[in-house]
């Protein structure tokens, strides 16, 4: 942001420029000399209506730029430079003091207006700032001609009858100096936002410069009849300047305008170009008016494009920050999933061991069932979090195929029936739909139905009723309704019932627990299947109904598979690798009970040593290990043998599964691993390996 008070740091392109770093006296001396030389040249070569009035006055722009960049402290340089210019040109000490006072006050007024209302030295960063700068230049430059001509007229160096023409010449020279010279000096005083051009940009800049010079020479150079005969073709220079404004920064635009102005002034003074009038002064006044108008237009366009580019860069930066935050969140969720899942595996394995022992009392069996339900619930909560992440990032992968919705419903009911019976809930099925086949992902479609039924069981009081029905409200349309007699849904909550983490009032949250993700995930999965999921309720304590609607597909033909005798299971030599001691011990115990020979290792190095000493039929390995990864181990073993592998890991994102399969694992099981799932995976892997 630009400084609005002298001496404050000005931030430019991520760096800070402090005007006070340049010593005051050297700055005043250098500025006074530059002002004097520029003013002397202007009055010597361009002043015609009066010796002290020039239609081209670069010192005005030099003074304004100096005050904007260096601060108000250098104002004495303007006074000194203006005094000596006029003292050695025309007039006396008193008129020179009056003119110098007007020039100094004009620059101070212009700088104050720009600093106060237009953003200071960063005035050219926005198109609004360019227009405000132009207005400040037009207003402030009325001061110097008023002071100067009044001083000359009072001193007898200018007739009062010529006051108007001289004032107009003086004012337009100062205003054009502010509009053409000040932007050039201010913009080149600060580090550019784009320091280096690439090769294509450098070539483009060179072409633009050559085109600009060529067109300027065509119009003002006198080399061609078009300029020698003063045809009104100045407009052909505009497109090149506008092109520069669109493609580059305000600094390059101001530079191009300055080059064009210099060639145009030379040509006009030599009688070439479209602005030749009766006198040299009139010609230069018309030229400066055209140049000033072109400057305001081009600089405004350049500022607008620069502002748009900064906004785009800011959006890209924010996008990168958001993507980085998302990656961090994904990594956190993946690690959290791994750390939460891993301790559940030995618990599930221990439950399988206790179930296999038999001879338990009914109370012990109920306790084991309770432990298993809560472990599975914990695993489902983790799955819900990861599913929500996949859905929000549109990375959910579905494998569509024909499904029998009634069969899915029956499977879900059997899974949830023990929980319903424990609370004396009456589960009723009313599956009347004639067309009940849909196209969907088997696991995710079952998850939708499972979430709806679990939601009904959760929010229905003991001894309540839950009804699952199906119907065909239209041809090729299947509606599945899950109705309960539970707590119902308040009308205020109905509009956000499918929002993630929405559970209604806090009293409900404390009473029923959970994360509030089941319905949000179910609705997203329904939409991913091309269906809809809506909720209905007549209010609190009046139950609720969730209706899942999907298009039906023709019933697939029944395929009769010829069953071949299953190969007899044989003891396998298994290399089991897991750094979690309890998981390793529990899985080893279960595998040994099933007749397998198991060698356990806890890191990559010990696993490689075991593989070098012995021959194994199967590798079962965790992915995250202390001294490497399971994928590295699998790659190594596949290089020296054809051993198949099964990955078991708490990392269950799609990318994790893909990495495991790419490394050579035949299966990827997500913790907690049920023994029945592990056995099924072993059978599949060994069946393929034996072919």
pLDDT per residue as tens digits for the range 583-615: 888 888 888 888 899 999 999 999 999 988 888
- C-alpha torsion 142→145→148→150, nearest 10: -90
What's the confidence (pLDDT) of residue 506? 43
Confidence of residue 353 (pLDDT cuts 50, 70, 90): confident
Contacts of 606 (CB under 8 A, 6+ apart): none
Per-residue pLDDT tens digits for 474-514: 989 999 999 999 888 888 777 778 877 665 554 444 444 55
- What is the per-residue pLDDT for 6? 40
pLDDT at 362: 75
Mean pLDDT of 321-348: 75
Q: What's the pLDDT tens digit per position in 366-412?
A: 777 777 766 766 666 666 666 666 666 666 667 788 999 999 999 88
pLDDT of amino acid 431: 92
Helices (H), 198-279: 199-220, 225-228, 238-247, 250-269
Give the tens place of pLDDT for each residue, 85-105: 999 988 899 999 999 999 999
d(CA 171, CA 137): 10
Minimum mean pLDDT among 42-46, 144-148, 414-418, 621-625: which range?
A: 414-418
**Residue-level length of the chain:** 691
Distance from C-alpha of 602 to C-alpha of 405, rounded to nearest angstrom: 44
The terminus-to-terminus CA distance of the chain in angstroms comes to 72
Instruction: Name the 3-class secondary structure at 481.
Output: strand
3-state SS class at 523: helix
Separation CA 647–CA 151 (nearest Å): 95
Which pLDDT tens digit goes with each residue over 244-298?
999 888 999 999 999 999 999 999 998 888 888 889 999 999 999 999 999 999 9
Determine the Cα–Cα distance for residues 465 and 342; give it in Å rounded to an integer: 37
- pLDDT at residue 228 in the model: 62
Residues 6 or more apart in contact with residue 199 via CB below 8 angstroms: none
For position 127, what pLDDT does the model report? 94
Give the pLDDT score at 377. 60
Residue 149 has pLDDT above 70, yes or no: yes
The pLDDT assigned to 488 comes to: 86
pTM, two decimal places: 0.59
Backbone angles phi, psi at 126, to 5 degrees: -135, 150
Question: Is 640's pLDDT higher than 70?
Answer: yes
On the question of pLDDT at 224 being above 80, the answer is no
Which pLDDT band holds residue 658 (cuts at 50, 70, 90)?
Answer: confident
Q: What's the pLDDT at 12?
A: 39
Percent of the chain, pLDDT > 90? 44
Chain mean pLDDT for the chain: 84
Least confident of 212-216, 486-490, 514-518, 564-568: 564-568
pLDDT given for residue 5 in this prediction: 38
3-state helix, strand, coil in the chain (%, to 5): 60, 10, 25
Q: Give pLDDT, residue 71.
A: 92
Closest residue by Cα to residue 89 from 52, 37, 46: 52
Is the pLDDT score of 537 beyond 50? yes
Q: Tell me, what's the pLDDT at 585?
A: 86
By the 10 Å C-beta count (0-12 exposed, 13-18 middle, 19+ buried), 435 is classed as middle
Residue 10 confidence (pLDDT):
43
Query: What does each C-alpha distance from 588 to 346, 570, 578 come to in angstroms?
Result: 10, 17, 10
State how far the alpha carbon of 648 is from the alpha carbons of 280, 377, 623, in Å: 91, 19, 7
| Planar angle of CA 517, 509, 339, nearest 5 degrees | 55
Per-residue pLDDT, 1: 34
Can you give the pLDDT at residue 168?
A: 95
Looking at per-residue pLDDT, the higher value among 227 and 77 belongs to 77
**Within 10 Å of residue 395's Cβ, how many Cβ atoms?**
12
CA 477 to CA 473: how far, in whole Å? 6
Q: In terms of DSSP bridges, do strands 667-670 and 465-471 run parallel, antiparallel, or are they unpaired? A: unpaired
Separation of alpha carbons 4 and 8, rounded Å: 8
What is the pLDDT at residue 380?
64
What sign does the dihedral 326-331-335-341 (CA atoms) show?
A: positive
Angle at CA 527, nearest 5°, toward 522 and 533? Answer: 55
Task: Give the pLDDT score at 673.
Answer: 81
User: In 10 A of CB 243, how many CB atoms?
Assistant: 18
Does residue 447 carry a pLDDT above 90? no
Percent of the chain residues past pLDDT 70, beyond the cut = 86
Residue 413, pLDDT > 50, answer yes
Kindly give the pairing relationship between strand 667-670 and strand 645-649.
parallel
Tell me 277's DSSP state: -
Residues 6+ apart with CB under 8 A from 75: 67, 104, 107, 108
Instruction: State how far the Cα of 659 lies from the Cα of 645, in Å rounded to an integer.
Output: 13
Nearest to 484 by CA among 517, 455, 526, 446: 455
Whether 22 has a pLDDT exceeding 50, the answer reads yes
């Amino acid at each position: 942001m630009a400084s609005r008070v002298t001496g404050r740091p000005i931030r430019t392109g991520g760096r800070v420029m402090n005007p006070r770093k340049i010593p005051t006296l050297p700055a005043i001396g250098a500025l006074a000399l530059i002002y004097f030389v520029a003013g002397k040249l202007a009055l010597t070569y361009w002043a015609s209506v009066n010796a002290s009035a020039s239609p081209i006055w670069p010192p005005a722009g030099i003074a304004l730029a100096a005050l904007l960049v260096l601060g108000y402290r250098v104002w004495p340089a303007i006074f000194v430079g203006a005094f000596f210019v006029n003292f050695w040109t025309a007039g006396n000490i008193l008129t020179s003091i009056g003119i110098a006072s007007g020039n100094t006050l004009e620059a101070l007024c212009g700088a104050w207006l720009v600093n106060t209302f237009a953003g200071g030295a960063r005035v050219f960063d926005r198109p609004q700032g360019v227009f405000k700068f132009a207005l400040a230049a037009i207003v402030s430059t009325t001061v110097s001609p008023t002071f100067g001509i009044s001083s000359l007229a009072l001193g007898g160096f200018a007739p009062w009858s010529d006051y108007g023409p001289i004032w107009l010449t003086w004012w337009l020279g100062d205003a054009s100096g502010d509009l053409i010279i000040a932007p050039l000096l201010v913009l080149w005083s600060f580090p550019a936002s784009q320091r280096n051009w690439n090769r294509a940009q450098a070539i483009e800049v060179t072409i633009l410069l050559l085109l600009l010079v060529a067109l300027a020479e065509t119009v003002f150079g006198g080399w061609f009849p078009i300029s020698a005969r003063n045809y009104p073709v100045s407009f052909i220079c505009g497109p090149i300047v506008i092109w520069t404004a669109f493609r580059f920064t305000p600094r390059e635009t101001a530079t191009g305008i300055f080059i064009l102005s210099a060639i145009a002034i030379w040509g006009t003074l030599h009688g070439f170009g479209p602005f030749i009038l009766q006198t040299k002064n009139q010609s230069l006044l018309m030229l400066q008016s055209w140049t000033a108008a072109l400057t305001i237009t081009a600089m405004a366009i350049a500022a607008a494009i620069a502002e748009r580019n900064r906004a785009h860069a800011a959006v890209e930066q924010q996008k990168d920050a958001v993507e980085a935050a998302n990656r961090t969140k994904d990594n956190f969720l993946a690690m959290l999933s791994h750390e939460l899942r891993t301790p559940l595996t030995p618990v599930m394995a221990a439950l399988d061991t206790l179930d296999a022992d038999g001879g338990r009392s009914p109370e012990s069996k109920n306790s084991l069932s309770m432990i298993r339900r809560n472990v599975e619930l914990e695993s489902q909560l983790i799955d819900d979090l990861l599913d929500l992440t996949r859905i929000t990032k549109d990375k959910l992968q579905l494998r569509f195929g024909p499904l029998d919705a009634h069969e899915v419903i029956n499977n879900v009911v059997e899974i949830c029936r023990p929980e319903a019976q424990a609370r004396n809930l009456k589960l009723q099925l009313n599956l009347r739909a004639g067309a009940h086949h849909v196209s969907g992902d088997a696991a995710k479609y079952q998850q939708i139905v499972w979430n709806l039924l679990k939601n009904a069981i959760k929010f229905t009081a003991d001894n309540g009723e839950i009804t699952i029905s199906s119907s065909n409200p239209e041809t090729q349309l299947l509606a599945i309704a899950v109705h309960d007699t539970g707590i119902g849904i308040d009308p205020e909550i109905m509009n956000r019932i499918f929002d993630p983490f929405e559970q209604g009032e806090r009293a409900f949250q404390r009473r029923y627990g959970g994360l509030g993700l089941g319905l949000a995930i179910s609705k997203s999965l329904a939409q991913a299947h091309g269906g809809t999921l809506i909720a209905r309720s007549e209010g609190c304590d009046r139950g609720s109904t969730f209706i899942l609607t999907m298009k039906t597909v023709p019933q697939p033909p029944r395929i009769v598979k010829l069953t071949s005798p299953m190969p007899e299971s044989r003891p396998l030599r298994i290399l089991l690798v897991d750094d979690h001691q309890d998981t390793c011990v529990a899985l080893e115990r279960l595998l040994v009970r099933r007749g397998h020979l198991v060698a356990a290792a806890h890191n990559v190095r010990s696993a490689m040593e075991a593989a070098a000493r012995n021959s194994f039929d199967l590798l079962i390995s965790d992915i995250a290990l202390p001294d490497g990864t399971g994928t590295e181990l699998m790659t190594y073993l596949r290089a020296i043998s054809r051993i198949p592998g099964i990955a078991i890991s708490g990392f269950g994102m799609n990318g994790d599964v893909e990495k495991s399969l790419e490394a050579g694992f035949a299966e990827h099981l997500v913790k907690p691993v049920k023994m029945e799932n592990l056995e099924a995976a072993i059978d599949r892997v060994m069946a393929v390996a034996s072919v």
